[in-house]
Structure 1
Amino acid sequence: MKVWAADGLSFAVPIDSIVKIVENFKKNGRVVRPWLGLKMLDLNPMIIAQLKERSSSFPDVKNGVLVPMVTPGSPAERAGFRPGDVVVEFDGKLVESIKEIIDIMGDKVGVPFKVLVKRSNNVTVSLTVIPEEADSSR
């Protein structure tokens, strides 16, 4: 893609992403994206240290995905997610990034996923979330 008056600027899309989109079109005639209703943030040691500094009750984790916001009425809210949860396992797999969660979900809509979250004071909770198809207006 070329941008006017931006010499040398270009965009690239990873081939793995394109392959998944093409497979989706072949299978469904459109791109299907699952939606949970979570805002998510990848955690790293620096962010974890800052969060622990703000609140001593922040869970003892080395990595994971922080949930700062849960959309009201969403599959995530119905599953029991709360702001401040840290996703440490998704579908039985340890997760360190949002990308890993997206890859695990793939195009699975209506399929239940077991999620392990850590909450304040190291409370571990097991949740089951069933993604809905993403609405392009969201």
Structure 2
Amino acid sequence: MLGVHHPYLGIEFTNLYAVDLATSEIIIQQFPHISNGVMVEKVAAESPAAHAGLLPSDVNIEFRGNVIRSSPELFGMVWDKTGESLEILVMRAYLGLCLTLIFVVHEVEQDYYNS
């Protein structure tokens, strides 16, 4: 696969509209104007997401100034950004904070393909 770069962020996430009711209620109480985004489920240790400070339950709502509406849309936004330093807007609902985090998109190591 010479010349093909696959981005690695180190997160598992779900679309905001698919989170459970209790989580949705917490997010709505803190940020009633937010209806789009993806919620972080897991962050891999030593991943680009971990180094940037992303945490489970964070809701990613903007990437490079573009609203994130779904997980496929987020993948599309980072697909050709391997090696770049990128800005993401995150809601941390349990603290009532909106944060801007910066991380570098890594390339998936060959050992992780199809795993």
- TM-score class, shorter-chain normalisation, is 0.7 to 0.9
Corresponding residue pairs, total: 109
Greater RCO, 1 or 2 (C-alpha within 8 Å, sep 6+): 2
Q: How does 1:68-107 map to 2 (within 5 A)?
A: 68-107=41-80
Q: Shift of residue 105 of structure 1?
A: 1.2
How many angstroms apart in 1 are the aligned matches of 2:57 and 2:110?
A: 27
**Unaligned residue ranges in structure 1 (runs of 5+):** 1-24
**Seq. identity, %:** 29
Higher Cα radius of gyration:
1
Match of 1:51 in 2: 23
Query: Which residue is equivalent to 1:38?
Result: 11
Task: Give the RMSD, CA atoms, in angstroms.
Answer: 2.2
Counterpart CA distance in 1 for 2:27 and 2:36 is 17
Unaligned runs of 5+ residues in structure 2 are none
Structure having the larger proportion of residues in strand:
2
The answer to whether the 8 Å contact 1:63/1:96 transfers is: yes
In the TM superposition, what is the alpha-carbon distance from 1:107 to its structure 2 partner?
Answer: 2.2
Question: Residue 111 of structure 1: which of 84, 94, 99 is its match?
Answer: 84
